[in-house]
Amino acid sequence: MSSPADAFFFTFLSLLLASGAANLDIGKTLSGYSEFSDFVNMLNETGVADEINNKETVTVLAVANGNLGGLYGQTTETKKMVLSVHVVLDYYDETKLNKSHSKTAKILTTLYQETGKARSQVGFLNMTNTGNGTVIFSSSSPNSHLEAQLVKQVTSKPYDLSVLQIDNLIDVALVSSSPANAPAYAPPPRKVLAPAPTPSLDEVDNGKSPSPSKTKASEASPPDADADAPAGGDEKKSGASVPCGDYFLSTILMIFTCACLVLSMI
């Protein structure tokens, strides 16, 4: 059975650990640095400040007011995504970075990776220090092209909070256009032409132009009286033409006969 002293000790230890885990205040830490006032306001506006304050160990890559142009006017959600990429879930101060000489980039995990929305390595950063005194940060996303360079150490609370200034925002364009989030700009939808209405069968029949011969026969001229006449009428017509042919032949024969007589007399 535990004594009251043991219970008091464990209670005191729990309170001490809890206070140590929640003693970060990024807003208060940067309150004396006016060049980061807009950066801090955006952290508070998006709730990223609260997430930083709830971490035990974190490194903030701060950007001065004059280099935040890409975030002004963006939606709160877009700002939160971009700022979350500028929060590293580990402790890195200037001394530790200067000792991290390597020919290959070191992969850093960011706060955005924890959201589960990161796509195409956007939740990770590449940190490069080739030993020439320049430390470079860039997105691990293959579509990222802009790098950010370390400017200076702003402030630190060893192994809990480190604030480093970088010269510009890290290129996280893919964050604002990832499938899990709506893009800041969407191209106008393509205009779809409505299909022509399909005519009905009655419309098709009525739409056909009548033949000119049919129109003249049915409308311009009266019905032919001989159209319904029996076949005998046709025989009469052909019979009337026969005498004309015989008369023509007989006339030719008469002329020929006369010519023959005249020749014989000569």
Chain-centroid distance of CA 110 in Å reads: 27
Give the Cβ contact number of residue 150 at 10 Å.
Answer: 21
- Helix, strand, or coil (residue 15): helix
Give, for all 266 residues of the chain, the pLDDT tens digit: 456 555 544 554 454 444 445 489 999 999 999 999 999 999 999 999 999 999 999 999 999 999 998 899 999 999 999 999 999 999 999 999 988 888 789 999 999 999 888 887 889 999 999 778 799 999 998 877 778 999 999 999 999 999 999 999 998 754 333 333 333 423 334 344 445 455 555 544 555 544 444 444 444 444 444 444 444 444 444 444 444 456 566 777 778 777 777 677 76
Token pair for 152: 């200076």
Using DSSP bridges, classify how beta strands 124-129 and 106-109 pair: parallel, antiparallel or unpaired. Answer: antiparallel
Cα–Cα distance, 7 to 159 (Å, whole number): 30
Categorise residue 249: left if φ over 0, alpha if ψ from -120 to 50, beta otherwise. Answer: alpha
Among 183, 86, 99, smallest CA distance to 125 is for: 86
Distances, alpha carbon 242 to alpha carbons 108, 163, 245, 250, in Å: 117, 125, 5, 12
Fold of 16-166: FAS1 domain (2.30.180)
pLDDT for the residue 142: 81
Give the helix/strand (H/E) hosting 129.
strand 124-129
Q: What is the reported pTM?
A: 0.59
How many C-beta atoms lie closer than 10 Å to residue 167's C-beta? 13
